[in-house]
Amino acid sequence: MKNTAYFSMEFAIDQSLKTYAGGLGFLAGSHFRAAKRLNVPLVGVSMLWSYGYYDQVRDREGRMKVENIRKYYDFLTDIDLKVPVVINGTNIWVKAYKLEENTFNTCPIYFLTTDIPENDHLSRTISYGLYDGNNLTHIAQEIVLGIGGYKVIRECENVKRYHINEAHSLPVAFKMLEDYETDYVKEHLLFTTHTPIPAGNETQDINLLKSMGFFGSIDTKTAEKYGGNPFNLTVAALRMCKRSNAVSELHRDTSEKMWAWVTNREPIMNITNAQDKYYWQDRQIKEAAGKKDIKMLRERKMELKKQLFEEVADQTGSLFDPNILTVVWARRFADYKRPSFLLRDEKRFKNLLKTGKIQVIWAGKPHPADSNAQITFNWIVSKTRELKNVSVLTGYELKLSKLLKQGSDVWLNTPRRPNEASGTSGMTASMNASIHMSTMDGWHVEWAKAYPKDSFTIGDGVNLDEDYEANEMYKHLERTIKIYDTDEWWEKAINSVNHVVEYFDAERMIMEYTKKFYSD
């Protein structure tokens, strides 16, 4: 039996299992792969999204298009279990499937769905798509994950602790409060926060939550004591949990300042995120870097670049050259990540391209309801369509992410400090000899401090003026063009590969969670 249940709206386990949107899911995937190897008694609880997040395709003019295609998985075990959950006064059945440990070598995960014949059409749509843009559906998803997940776990496992990855599954805390009392919740609930933007921490009308069943039988006055009115899910989680953590040193400092006004809460500790080298790192890259063999590393990197460029050619009709410096910006399309930052000074960007010594790839999924992010994606497509050596790819999921990380030379990260909690994609790029170039935000602050020569740091983290940061970014790119494919370059790449796994590998993270977080 498992000691700790880990609740997460998304898990990125395998390309074939499309139950994730971005970094939160990628992290959960690495968490569960490493925990399995280290025999940490974890069990996951998540949602089985009938249509995944969404399928990112192109329309007839090459602009981004959202498609919703039903997914089927014959590798999930039907455990023949349904539990009832009350939403909006209606009894809804939640069915559980299990991802067995040996399927993808992870700790087991229970996936929940309402998309079954026992429910009416509206109830079935609750588990259709991840992060539904309709607020009522979104709240219903949180109730299914929290309360439905709690009931499934109580039926199937003997769990001591409930670890909620972000506050989406907070109804689990109120279900515990309903069944026991405050001290029990305080002893059994653990919380990881990921969002250092006040607007990104979900706030809801407390009466709406109550009427929908978010608090179960707990009265509104009690709920308000934890989350305030309007009700803030993160604030309630901080007050109800035994322990809480942020996911990088800077994120902890930012979170402590952001939530300094919240009374009756535990201090927020830091467990810096990490990614699983066994899943993400190319074996030959690791071997070449371990031997400090530049020739071997270069040859393998060229092979990996060719593999990536086959995808580029297939999607866009552009033929990229493996001998040319390749810069990638790829992550979830969100405003604070500044996806169009490379184009801030278009003339300077085009001058870089005119050298014929640099290639640039963009990739990433905007939220299907975020029209501004989709406009940005399409704007980048329109601005770069006529440019040689630039491509914008669709379908940024595990498979493409791995291709990009293994096939790029520079992994560009441009968030507005201090909005990026961690930004772990650069860790897995660095494991594959793609050198991280980033503003001073998220995990990069710790990486740049530990090994300043293993990456490129944009700006100083103090002057946050966008023109200044853009100028620093262009200067770094101009310099990388000059040193690319020299011994200096490959030595930097070798050091990056060897050093990043010392701290930013998931096994260190899991051991820290076990020692600091999961221990009694």
Residue 197's pLDDT band (cuts 50, 70, 90): confident
pLDDT tens track for 313-346:
999 999 999 999 999 999 999 999 999 999 999 9
pLDDT tens track for 153-196:
999 999 999 999 999 999 999 999 999 989 999 999 999 999 88
Under DSSP, is residue 45 helix (H, G, I), strand (E, B) or coil?
strand
For residue 176, give Cα distances in angstroms to 28, 206, 349.
23, 19, 55
Residue reference for tokens 């990536």? 308
Q: Can you tell me the mean pLDDT for 2-26?
A: 95
Under DSSP, is residue 132 helix (H, G, I), strand (E, B) or coil?
coil
pLDDT tens track for 410-464:
999 999 999 999 999 999 999 999 999 999 999 999 999 999 999 999 999 999 9
pLDDT at 200 (0 to 100) = 76
Residue reference for tokens 């593999």? 307
**pLDDT of 2 strictly over 80:** no
pLDDT at 508 (0 to 100) = 98
In this structure, are residues 151 and 139 in contact, taking their beta carbons and an 8 Å threshold? no
In this structure, are residues 162 and 7 in contact, taking their beta carbons and an 8 Å threshold? yes
d(C-alpha 323, C-alpha 358), whole Å: 10
**pLDDT of 404 strictly over 80:** yes
How are the residues of the chain apportioned to helix, strand and coil, as percentages rounded to the nearest 5?
45, 20, 35
In this structure, are residues 204 and 152 in contact, taking their beta carbons and an 8 Å threshold? no
Residue 279 tokens read as 């899943």
pLDDT tens track for 91-118:
999 999 999 999 999 999 999 999 999 9
Nearest to 396 by CA among 128, 52, 141, 131: 52
Residue 112 tokens read as 């929940």
d(C-alpha 309, C-alpha 369), whole Å: 30
Strand duo 42-47 + 109-113: pairing: parallel
Looking at the DSSP bridge assignments, the partners of residue 58 are 64
pLDDT tens track for 458-468:
999 999 999 99
Q: Which amino acid belongs to residue 37?
A: R
φ, ψ dihedrals at 180, nearest 5°: -125, -120
